[in-house]
Amino acid sequence: MIMLLKKLASLRLTLVGMALLALLAVVGSRNAEIGAGITAVPLVILVVNLLAALLTNKSIRTQTGLLVFHVGLLLVFACIGLTVLLRYDGHVEVVQGGAFDAGMVETVEQGWWHHNRLEAIELYQGEVRVNYLPGLNRQDTASTFEYRASSGELRRITVGDTRAATIDGYRVAATFNKGFAVLLHWTGTDGTEILGAVHMPSFPEFDWKQLTAWTTPAGQQVELELKFDESVSDDRGAWSFGRTDMPYSVNVSLAGKSQRSLRRGESVELAGGVVRVVELRTWMAYQIDYTPLLPWMLVAALLAIVGLAMHFASRYLPASVTASSKEDGYAHVARV
């Protein structure tokens, strides 16, 4: 058993673990199908290697600074490994006045051990306000929404560039991505009625092309283009994104047919039903991530730094003080 632990504590195994970690980190970042979860393998190797070193190396255990450093490093690797396995990263767009829909979340990365609980999130989007300086330089973002806390209480919060909300362990943060949405009412020939929002491209990034494709509930493909009577964005002065009371029209185009321009409240007959423009709204894109061990990772890193500082202080500070005392003594003799 001791021989096995000594082999596991080998510096060669440390080098192998570090090399594998670097290699698999690159492979995982470039291959979405593999993902970063593969880096958990070398992290396990490094954790076992450090633990074996702590158990078999007496010099580590007898030097307080060195012991604290290795314990901190062990905890850092353990936290990173668990974070890789448990983490979640995704994006979602929520329309003003609408509710969060877990089915609309685009997953960027999900750890092998992550238990998806997005269905439990209850969130309702409110007003969005983004202030711009001249030159279309974004100044600040304020997105207000209501969410259901773990206590069951419905709370209101405004998130932005420096503030996010934590809902059921997930961190929900506003991004730079936002835009306008057209609320449409569909009445099918079979009597079905559907109210939904069609999101236009990001604004003001694509203010020149507010055009998107939409498939009606009857399966017909149409193009919708949002047109404002006057320019909304201003690259010469300060302005704010978020107003929805500007005059606008929605152009509905069918393949091989002429375009139809609709104002608020107007409708057009399509295959299988009639669509009516209800009103203009905004949408906000959020980043949703789950990294529960991030604070502990910081604590472990600080512990490792403190241990390293203690180790070097115990090795070099006493020697410096002794040398300084000897120099003072020699200088005193010389003066006599």
Task: Give, for all 336 residues of the chain, the pLDDT tens digit.
Answer: 778 888 888 888 889 888 988 888 777 767 766 666 778 888 889 999 999 988 888 888 889 999 999 999 999 999 999 998 999 999 999 999 999 999 999 999 898 899 999 999 999 999 999 999 998 899 999 999 999 987 888 999 999 999 999 999 999 999 999 999 999 999 999 999 999 999 999 999 999 999 999 999 999 999 999 999 999 988 888 999 999 999 999 999 986 677 899 999 999 999 999 999 999 999 999 999 999 999 999 999 999 999 999 988 888 776 555 455 445 544 443 333
Two structure tokens written together for 55: 């158990």
Same domain, 283 and 231: yes
Looking at residue 276, what is its pLDDT? 97
Residues 122 and 218 in one domain: yes
Q: Are residues 154 and 201 in the same domain?
A: yes
**Distance (Å, whole) CA 160 – CA 144:** 9
Cis? peptide before 204, omega within 30° of 0: yes
Q: Containing domain of residue 70, as a range?
A: 2-87+294-335
* Beta sheet of 123-133, edge-to-edge order: 154-160, 137-148, 123-133, 239-241
Say how far apart CA 71 and CA 77 lie, in whole Å: 10
Residues 143, 178, single domain; the answer is yes
- Tell whether 160 and 270 lie within a shared domain: yes
Residues 67 and 97 in one domain: no
Which tokens sit at 113? Answer: 């051990």
Residue 208 CB coordination number (10 Å): 9
What is the bridge-based pairing of β-strands 170-188 and 165-167? antiparallel
For tokens 């006493």, name the residue: 318
What total of structural domains would you count in the chain? 2
Same domain, 180 and 133: yes
Which pLDDT belongs to residue 331? Answer: 40
Cα gap 81→48, rounded to integer Å: 12
Residue 332 pLDDT: 41
Are both 157 and 209 inside the same structural domain? yes
183 and 253 housed in the same domain = yes
